Structure 1
Amino acid sequence: MANRLTLIVLLLSCLMPAQTASANLPVTVPDQGPLPTLAPMLEKINPAVVNIATYSTEVNRYNPLLNDPFFRRFFNIPDEQFQQFQQPERKQQSAGSGVILSAADGIVVTNYHVIRGSDEVQVSLIDGRSFAAEIVGSDPELDIATLKIRADGLSEIKVADSSRLRVGDFVVAIGNPFGLGQTVTTGIVSALGRSGLGIEGYENFIQTDASINPGNSGGALVNLRGELVGINTAIIAPAGGNIGIGFAIPANMVNASVRQLLAYGEVKRGDIGIAVQDITPELSEAFGLKNGQRGVLITQVDKHSPAAEAGITPGDIVTHINGVKTVSSTRFRSLISMTPIGDMLRLSLLRHSETLEIGVRVIAREDLSYSGKSLHPLLEGAQFGNNPQGGVVVTGLKPDSPAAFNGIRPDDIIVGANRVTVYDIETLQRALSRDRSSVLLKIIRDNVSLFLVIR
């Protein structure tokens, strides 16, 4: 009897590795058919993943005294050598990856940080061809840029509904890590809805353990059907390399951004006119939430906004938007940002322990905020709104605008202007009207108070 038990245990131990392997991929005996492989899927979609190189031109810096011919003669600097100082220098700025979304139109999507500050963008295909790319538009808040190339014989990737992803789904990352050339890595979806990382303005990341390294930015994250589920964008890398924590922008968010960039050349995000905050354990207890109930707390409702017209009030708790849980204020902002202007949102609310369903129409953010140009010429390019805790917050900022050049940053909170305390937009307007040639702002940035002089 003991010998039979020993034999059974040995047989089970021999079978365990096969059971473990079958949980990952189906195992096929070589002489009974082909081994499982991703090669057919990759052969189909690899041509749609491209390498991106960007170039910028810089003028060599030199002492302005060299402009004086007498100074050059005094130090025996030939004119030919001075002319070399003035020649612009072309430098490669960065290398990354991209994905062809439309073969017919030559539309390529990548990360904004890949092409930021570049004068020239080159897109290289897996077949060795290379093309100059036109930057159609960019969305810095989502870290997305759309390019266009003129080429025949392109391949494209089908875009999946990323809202159907589940933790544990197999995914494949394709890109150009460290400039090595196209590289494929595999893994699973480790988590969904990651936010609060401070990487981008709108965060709702897919987390994956598929290896993502520098150069993978802008590359494809696909499912096993070869459908695009995300654009690889960032990693957590304490030691400078991959440790199995990578992040991708969901395909649904990418699609919403690309559609607007193609239509308008910029992204026009919507709003409903409310401010929210995360619910702490103390707030959860104070509002009588049941154990495990999640949501975001509405702290302010703007007058004449869609939210006010729909009857939403401060103190309401938003638990779902269109059936999707709102587990954080960052997730809440991301869900609204994906909604086209003019569409209706269905908000599930808790009010005094009562569940409500309210429909709210999304309008353009510009219709709810104040333009910096209307407040002061030196603030052109910024959008401002009232801050729930007092002051005026920068709700939007166009890159390379006068406001950005003058040192304004997104999420800055203006609490003073021209030595006048700022409580809201109205007090800011009155303070700025005192001087049209310069502005003295008192700003809170990252919980630090500072003064900013703009002339």
Structure 2
Amino acid sequence: MSLKNFLSSKRVLIFNSIIIAMVAGFGIGVVVLGLNGTWSPKSQVYAEEKPIVVPSSVYDMQNTFRQIAKNVLPSIVEVLTVSTDEQAPEMPETPPFDYFFGPQPKANKGPQVLPKTEGLGSGILVQQNGNTVYVLTNNHVVENANKVTVTLYDKRTYQAKIVGTDPRRDLALVSFQAKPGDQPFVLAKLGNSDELEVGDWVLAIGNPLGLDFTVTSGIVSALGRRGGPNDSINIDSYIQTDASINRGNSGGALVNLRGEVIGINTWIASPNGASVGLGFAIPINSAKRPIQDFIKDGAVQYGWLGASVSDLSPEFASQLGVPSKVTGSFIPDIFLNTPADKAGIEPGDFVIKINGRDIKDTPDLVQTVGDLPIDKPATFTLIREGQEITKTVIIEKRNEKEVRSLKLWPGLAVAPLTADIRSQQGLGKDVQGLIVAQVQDRSTADIAGIKPGDVINKINGTPVTTLKEFYRALNASRQVKISFNRQGVELNIGITR
């Protein structure tokens, strides 16, 4: 085919059309891109240059956060711990010779030293006495640590020692010695956590995941939260916040808009171990006295009442004459010769106030009593047989060894015979009284042989079918004769207070 014929053919026409379309498309694309402000070789189109108006209140808040960070960061430290665990060597099965004559000498008899474990947390500079500087942190940050190192915001590093720890509050105090020529230390201002309200702005400051001296913000999401990793022993309620808290924040500060520490960041609730906006801090008011106890005694001194306490169902509260909307805590037993006993508090009393402050529930009572000053009087407002009375109690220091040797009176919990209980226990309507729901180990009732499931029908010959009748009769005399039914057999025992 000749060149002339080829150029006039349809194939060339189609090919040329494609090229023209491509070029046209490219041109259109350039125009569109230029109009869209994405790219143009001849004209640059920028975002609208109209000034953005930021309310002055927003700038004020930003400046507040900046100032808080500047003021508080120098009082926060990084706490690095090193722990080594010793594990006894595994012993082979004991041969008869060892059984009769004792273990024989063996090689490799010492403990096996396991690899070192490092931990990272945060702390707060709270006090300086001479050259000794004190750092408040969590018990779980320094627990079992053989070595503690604190690093300040200005990167100064000190070897620290543990002054005292307290698992019940998850608090610890460590100290280090200032060096000659040291610059002054910035101590944190401790606020009043009782003034907090839900919705208050707070900042969390610490060392999350090793990212030292991190500041996050949020609000107080709730107050008085209970639970946590050590729920079985911890007596504190917590401040809940959505300020981001992660591992490494433990022991760090939760501060208000005045730059005052109002909480010690302690734990998070999370499905994956990372922050999901559910962080919890110990109120700083719960740490103020422990700080001084640590410095003075090396341990927290707890006030002690000398009674067992529990919550009550509305039905039980009604039987004791407690009004439906009144909150507090029930005392089923007392330890003899203790502050409660000496003050005239009796089993069956319901505590509604301490020093004029309402008691919300049993955990609140436990925490309040623990915080009371040792050897000082405290006023307890009680409901007894439907009447409000007051007792003055001289709070004593809790001594675990002494508690185990004291006599618990009476040491049992009773409940009304409801239709459900009668059905479960196979009790006919002819059986009247109160069923024993629980007996405390080594208590007066336990030693006397009373067992759960027994039905107490008389005390000193007086029939008892309600809780009020039971406790009135129990407290009327030091010598108590208890009549009860056990599996259809009527029995009697005597106990002495």
Identify the residue that residue 173 of structure 1 maps to in structure 2.
204
Q: 1:91 aligns with which of 96, 102, 116?
A: 116
Deviation at 1:55, TM superposition (A): 0.6
Partner of 2:148: 121
- Deviation per CA, 1:9-31, whole angstroms, max 9, x where unpaired? xxxxxxxxx9xx99xx9335xxx
Q: Secondary structure at the match of 2:116?
A: strand
Amino acid at match of 2:122: S
Letter in 2 for 1:125: L
Listed as ranges, the gaps of 5+ residues in structure 2 are 1-52, 93-106, 414-438, 449-497
CA contact (8 A) 1:170 1:186 kept: yes
* Structure-2 change in CA distance of 1:193 and 1:324 (3 Å): farther
Contact persistence 1:269–1:337 (CA under 8 A) = yes
1:128 CA drift (Å): 1.0
Is residue 87 of structure 2 the alignment partner of residue 54 of structure 1? Answer: no
Structure 1 position 305, deviation (Å): 2.1
Contact kept in structure 2, 1:132 and 1:149, CA below 8 Å: yes
> 2 CA distance for matches of 1:311 and 1:34?
55
The count of residues paired between Structure 1 and Structure 2 equals 348
Cα 1:124–1:62 shift into 2, 3 Å: same
Q: 1:209 aligns with which of 228, 238, 242?
A: 242
| TM-score, structure 2 normalization | 0.63
- Give 1:238 shift: 1.9
Distance in 2 (CA, whole Å) between partners of 1:324 and 1:354 is 18
**Is it true that 1:325 corresponds to 2:325 in the alignment?**
no
The answer on whether the counterparts of 2:162 and 2:173 sit within 8 Å (CA) in structure 1 is yes
Deviations 1:76-125 (A, max 9, x none): xxxxxx99x99967624210000000145310011111111111000011
Report 1:235-254 matches (<5 A): 235-254=268-287
CA displacement at 1:297 relative to structure 2: 0.9
Q: In the alignment, is the contact (CA less than 8 A) between 1:26 and 1:36 conserved in 2?
A: no
8 Å contact from structure 1 (residues 275, 388) kept in 2: no
For residue 390 of structure 2, what is the amino acid of its counterpart? E
What displacement does 1:273 show? 1.4
d(CA) in 2 for partners of 1:385 and 1:186?
51
Aligned to 2:186: 155
Q: Are 1:135 and 2:162 matched, yes or no?
A: yes
**Structure 1 equivalent of residue 9 of structure 2:** none
CA separation of 1:59 and 1:195: change in aligned 2, threshold 3 A: closer
TM-aligned CA deviation for residue 390 of structure 1: 5.5
Shift, 1:388, TM fit: 6.6
Paired residue for 1:41, among 65, 68, 92?
68
Aligned-partner Cα distance in 1 for 2:282–2:375: 24
Task: Name the SS of the counterpart of 2:258 in structure 1.
Answer: coil
User: C-alpha displacement at 1:265, in angstroms?
Assistant: 1.1
Q: Residue 64 of structure 2: SS of its match in structure 1?
A: coil
* Structure 1: distance between partners of 2:88 and 2:306: 48
Indicate how the Cα distance of structure 1 residues 89 and 330 shifts in structure 2: closer, same or farther if over 3 A, else same.
Answer: same
Distance 1:316 1:423, change over 3 A: closer
Query: Superposition pairs for residues 163-312 of structure 1, below 5 Å?
Result: 163-197=194-228, 198-199=230-231, 200-312=233-345
Q: Supply the distance in 1 between the matched residues of 2:246 and 2:410 (Cα, whole angstroms).
A: 39
Following the alignment from structure 1 to structure 2, what is the Cα–Cα distance between the partners of residues 333 and 301? 14
**Residue number in structure 2 paired with 1:370:** 402
TM-score, normalised relative to structure 1: 0.68
> 1:308–1:183: structure 2 CA closer, same or farther, 3 Å change rule?
same
Does the 8 A contact of 1:177 with 1:213 survive in 2? Answer: yes
SS of match in other structure, 1:173: strand
Q: CA deviation at 1:137?
A: 1.1
Q: Aligned-pair distance for 1:250?
A: 1.4
Give the secondary structure class of the aligned counterpart of 2:220. strand
CA distance in 2, matches of 1:119, 1:347: 44
User: Post-superposition shift, 1:322?
Assistant: 2.4
Query: Are the structure 2 counterparts of residues 168 and 290 from structure 1 closer, same or farther at C-alpha, using a change threshold of 3 Å?
Result: farther
Report the Cα offset of residue 385 of structure 1: 7.0
> Which segment is superposed worse, 330-339 or 346-355?
346-355
Computed over aligned residues only, the root mean square deviation of the Cα atoms, in angstroms, reads 3.4
> Per-residue displacement from partner, 1:191-223 (whole Å, max 9, x unpaired)?
222224443421222222222211111111111
* Correspondence 1:343 to 2:370: no
Separation in 2, partners of 1:128, 1:175: 14
Gap change, CA 1:318 and 1:26, over 3 Å in 2: farther
Matches within 5 A, 1:8-87: 26-27=57-58, 36-57=63-84
